[in-house]
Amino acid sequence: MTRYSPKEFAQVVGSGLLSFPVTHFKSSDLSFDEDAYRANLNWLFSHDAAAMFAAGGTGEFFSLTQAEVDRVVRAAVEETKHIPVIAPAGGGTAVSIEYCHAAEAAGADGILLLPPYLTEAAKDGVAAHVEAICKSTKLGVIVYNRANQRLDDVELARLADRCPNLVGYKDGIGDIELMTRIYARLGDRLTYIGGLPTAETFALPYLEMGVTTYSSAIFNFVPEFALDFYKAVRARDYTKVYAALNEFVLPYIAIRNRKQGYAVSIVKAGMKVVGRDAGPVRTPLTDLTEAEVAELAALVARIQ
């Protein structure tokens, strides 16, 4: 039995900074390094995050087999006792439902519904997909509005009425008008999560639209900085937020933007820089160059 009802799950998720840890791979054969993953979770969550996304986007969900996702989620549940573990679901409707069933069996506390792969779909088809996933599970579901999984305020409100366990909306689009319309229509019916890369850049303006939390990639390797930044955002400390943006976040983004896929690769590079190597990324992603890793190391040194 899950530790939280969907409503309780949503309240906890909205209460603090969220983490989506990388998935550790062995350099020799790119297999899942479960021992290293478990050890890292124990270090990472000695810092105060509100919840974690296991095998999410930064965890390279797209490169994992279903069996590997199950191993990652089970390891996270066993190692992370004091905060909710959010398992991923993605792909077509049938396989997404299989992910949900596996998450329940593993003891996860909620679902992050990632976009389907490749297929373009009209909004009514996307809504039917989301409804089918919600009705397949007792867990609280967070829908990730990104790529080809796009819901407007009208469809989202209909889904919220039809699916009591649809409790979260994660924004990966960055459409200010849409976000405003969604919050104006649904208010506190949902928990709103910032999901744009890099989320820290958008945290302050999004706070004014009801987005009380976000998933922080940099929490993986500079957790103290990430938590201090989040606290400054919640306190609306503009001076501190913009100082941190200029000192670290914006230069970090400049490296990240040099190549498609670096939003994940740069996090694994950051892990290496701080002495917590999580191995390489899997293709189709590519790792940072040695020069870029050195540049990132210099940035990290500024804030430690």
- pLDDT tens for residues 6-15? 999 999 999 9
- Residues 55-62 have a mean pLDDT of 96
Query: Residue 169 pLDDT > 70, yes or no?
Result: yes
The token duo for 144 is 């990730």
CB 78 within 8 A of CB 39: no
- Residues 160-172 have a mean pLDDT of 98
- Residues 63-76 have a mean pLDDT of 98
pLDDT value of position 120: 87
pLDDT value of position 49: 97
Query: Residue 1 pLDDT > 70, yes or no?
Result: no
Query: Residue 37 pLDDT > 70, yes or no?
Result: yes
Query: Residue 118 pLDDT > 80, yes or no?
Result: no
Alpha carbon distance, N-terminus to C-terminus of the chain: 41
Which tens digits make up the pLDDT trace of 71-85? 999 999 999 989 999
pLDDT value of position 190: 98
Short-list 27, 29, 85, CA closest to 56: 85
Which tens digits make up the pLDDT trace of 38-48? 999 999 999 99
pLDDT value of position 119: 82
Whole-structure pTM value: 0.96
Which tens digits make up the pLDDT trace of 173-213? 999 999 999 999 999 999 999 999 899 999 999 999 999 99
The token duo for 51 is 């919840």
**pLDDT class for 3, splitting at 50, 70, 90?**
confident
CB 70 within 8 A of CB 101: no
Query: Residue 115 pLDDT > 90, yes or no?
Result: yes
pLDDT value of position 228: 98
Which tens digits make up the pLDDT trace of 232-270? 999 999 999 999 999 999 999 999 999 999 999 999 999
Which tens digits make up the pLDDT trace of 138-148? 999 999 999 99
